Amino acid sequence: MVRLGFIIALLAALGIALSGFAGYQSYNQELTVDRIALSRAIDVHASLVQERMSERELLARVASGLFRSPSKMTANMLEPLRTSIYAFKTDFVLASWIARVQPDELDAARAVITGGGYANSQIRNPDNTPRDVSKLTNAIDVLLDVEPRTPETMSFPGRSYDQHGVLGPVLKRAMVEGKPIASDPTQLRTSGTIGIVLAAPVQQASNGTVGFVTFSYEIVPLMLANDDLSLFTVVVKDPRDADSELVATDQGSATVRKLTPGATAPVTRTVNFGAHDWALGYYAKMDSEQRAQRLGIFVALAGLAITTIICGLFGYVAYNNIRLQGEIDMRIGFERRLTAVIDELNHRVKNILAVIQSIVTRTLRHGADVDVGRELLIGRIHAMSNVVSLLSESQWQGVPLKGLFEPRAIPHTERISLNGPDIIVSARAAQSLSLLFFELASHSDEGLSLVGKHPNIVAQWDIQGEGANAVFHFKWEEFNTSEKTRKADSDFGVVLLDRVAPEALGGTAKRYFSEVSYVYELTAPMDTVVDLTERNRTDRLLVPVRKSRI
Q: What pLDDT was estimated at residue 549?
A: 45
Whether 144 is in a domain gets the answer yes
What SS3 state is found at 200?
Answer: strand
The verdict on 492 and 392 lying in the same domain is: yes
Domain encompassing residue 22: 18-300
- Which segments within 152-297 are labelled E, that is strand? 181-182, 186-187, 194-204, 208-218, 232-237, 244-248, 254-258, 267-273, 276-284
- Which one is predicted more confidently, 375 or 525? 525
- The rounded Cα 277 to chain-centroid distance in angstroms is 24
Instruction: Give 491-529 as a DSSP string.
Output: HHHHHIIIIIHHHHTT-EEEEEE-SSEEEEEEEEEHHHH
Q: Is residue 314 part of a domain?
A: no
Q: What's the pLDDT score for residue 350? A: 66
The answer to whether residues 526 and 472 touch, using CB atoms and an 8 Å cutoff, is yes
pLDDT value of position 352: 65
Phi-psi region of 205 (alpha: psi -120 to 50; beta: other; left: phi over 0): alpha
pLDDT digits (tens, 9 = 90+) for 424-465: 888 888 888 888 888 888 777 654 455 556 668 999 999 988
pLDDT at 177 over 60: yes
Q: Which residue has the higher pLDDT, 452 or 278?
A: 278
The last residue of a domain, from among 279, 300, 321? 300
pLDDT score, position 537: 63
Helix, strand, coil in percent for the chain, rounding step 5: 45, 20, 30
Residue 197: band (very low, low, confident or very high) from pLDDT cuts 50, 70, 90: very high
Are 281 and 351 members of one domain?
A: no
Q: Does some domain include residue 160?
A: yes
pLDDT surpassing 80 at residue 391 = no
Assigned domain for 122 exists: yes
CB 145 within 8 A of CB 96: yes
CB distance 304 to 16 below 8 Å: yes
- Asked whether the beta carbons of 177 and 275 are under 8 A apart, the reply is yes
The pLDDT of residue 183 is 92
Please identify, among 300, 329, 348, the residue that sits at the C-terminal boundary of a domain: 300
Of 300, 332, 361, which one is at a domain's C-terminal end?
Answer: 300
Indicate if 257 and 386 belong to the same structural domain. Answer: no
Q: Is the pLDDT confidence value at 184 over 80?
A: yes
Residue 124: DSSP 8-state: B
pLDDT over threshold 80, residue 222: yes
pLDDT of 331 strictly over 60: yes
Residue-level pLDDT at 271: 93
* Chain centroid to CA 385: 23
Res 536: pLDDT = 62
CATH of the domain at 54: 3.30.450.350
CB 238 within 8 A of CB 248: no
Tell which wins on pLDDT, 313 or 272: 272
Report percent pLDDT > 90 for the chain: 18
Q: Is residue 385 part of a domain?
A: yes
Mean pLDDT of 268-296: 87
**Rounded Cα distance, 380 and 88, in Å:** 31
What per-residue confidence (pLDDT) applies to 452? 55
Does a cis peptide bond (omega within 30 degrees of 0) precede residue 525?
Answer: no
Query: pLDDT (tens digit, 9 = 90+) per residue, 48-99?
Result: 999 989 988 888 888 888 776 556 677 788 877 777 667 666 678 888 999 9
pLDDT at 361: 67
One domain, residues 454 and 513: yes
Residue 335 lies in a domain: no
Establish if 9 belongs to a structural domain: no
Nearest to 399 by CA among 426, 420, 373, 422: 426
Dihedral sign (CA 156, 136, 102, 58): negative
CA 58 to CA 66: how far, in whole Å?
A: 12
Shared domain check, 351 and 242: no
- CA-CA distance, 531 to 428, in Å (whole number)? 9
| pLDDT band of 193, cuts 50, 70, 90 | confident
Based on the fold, state whether residues 391 and 493 are members of the same structural domain: yes
288 with 374, same domain: the answer is no
**Most confidently predicted of 337-341, 353-357, 499-503, 546-550:** 499-503
pLDDT category of residue 142 using cuts at 50, 70 and 90: very high
Domain count within the chain: 2
- Whether 307 is in a domain gets the answer no
Average pLDDT over residues 481-486: 79
